[in-house]
């Protein structure tokens, strides 16, 4: 059990170095001897750590040439991909793809929620929007992000589809990091508040099509704001 834990520590530290850009895609990672000396562990522990990352397709072994870092789009570990998205260097493609993923999932969840959302959940949505508004007025970025995430969580759970909520759970950390990045702009906050009010109103009308369109418009505005205020900055 202890050895497995140590293997995990070495694998995580090597992954951190990959995410930080020390070993870009296509480059060779250090050999067992160098890594065992750096981490003060046995070569067997390093070997097992490398196998862990190879199983996740983060690394690939080419006999006689070495162990290479694979491109992000080949990684098979959702947790590792999310770590790269939240902790790595700014990646415009990853930021845009995250919104694309949210658009696919959240528009559908909002459509489902229109016919399933409870009165209490509708009240919660309005309370979260008001918290966004009050946080915006006093420049409370943390409070704004918290209310924003909570608003979307209500809709995901109100969809009544357990798979939607489960799929989004691992995304929470990276979404929090991205929201803090984009919501730092007052203009983006104003846009978000307006769209959240429209989404809440569409859900209150119990009209699935209106709810879907309202969420889709919000996702489009989010994408436009990302390109205008963040990626162009």
Q: What is the pLDDT of residues 52-107, one digit of tens each?
A: 999 999 999 998 899 999 999 899 998 888 888 767 655 677 788 889 989 999 99
Average pLDDT over residues 168-193: 87
| Alpha-carbon distances of 19 from 11, 95, 184, rounded to whole Å | 12, 15, 24
Q: What are the φ/ψ torsions at residue 62 (nearest 5 degrees)?
A: -115, 110
pLDDT at residue number 78: 83
SS3 state at 51 = helix
Share of the chain above pLDDT 90, in %: 74
121 or 73: which leads in pLDDT: 121
């Amino acid at each position: 059990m202890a050895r497995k834990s140590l293997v995990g520590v070495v694998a995580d530290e090597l992954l951190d170095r990959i995410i930080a850009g020390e070993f870009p895609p296509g480059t060779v990672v250090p050999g067992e001897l160098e890594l065992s000396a750096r981490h003060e562990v046995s070569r067997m522990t390093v070997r097992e750590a490398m196998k862990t990352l190879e199983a996740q397709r983060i690394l690939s072994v080419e006999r006689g040439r070495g162990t290479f870092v694979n491109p992000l789009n080949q990684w098979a570990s959702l947790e590792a991909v999310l770590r790269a998205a939240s902790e790595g260097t700014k990646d415009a493609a990853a930021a845009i793809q995250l919104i694309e993923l949210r658009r696919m999932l959240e528009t559908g969840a909002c459509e489902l929620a229109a016919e399933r959302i409870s009165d209490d959940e509708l009240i919660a949505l309005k309370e979260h929007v008001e918290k966004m508004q009050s946080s915006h007025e006093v420049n409370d970025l943390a409070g704004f992000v918290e209310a924003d995430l909570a608003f979307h969580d209500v809709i995901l759970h109100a969809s009544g589809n357990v798979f939607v909520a489960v799929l989004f759970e691992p995304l929470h950390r990276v979404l929090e990091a991205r929201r803090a990045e984009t919501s730092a702009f007052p203009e983006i906050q104003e846009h978000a508040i307006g769209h959240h009010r429209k989404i809440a109103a569409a859900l209150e009308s119990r009209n699935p099509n209106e709810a879907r369109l309202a969420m889709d418009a919000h996702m489009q505005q989010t994408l436009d704001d990302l390109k205008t205020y963040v990626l162009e900055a």
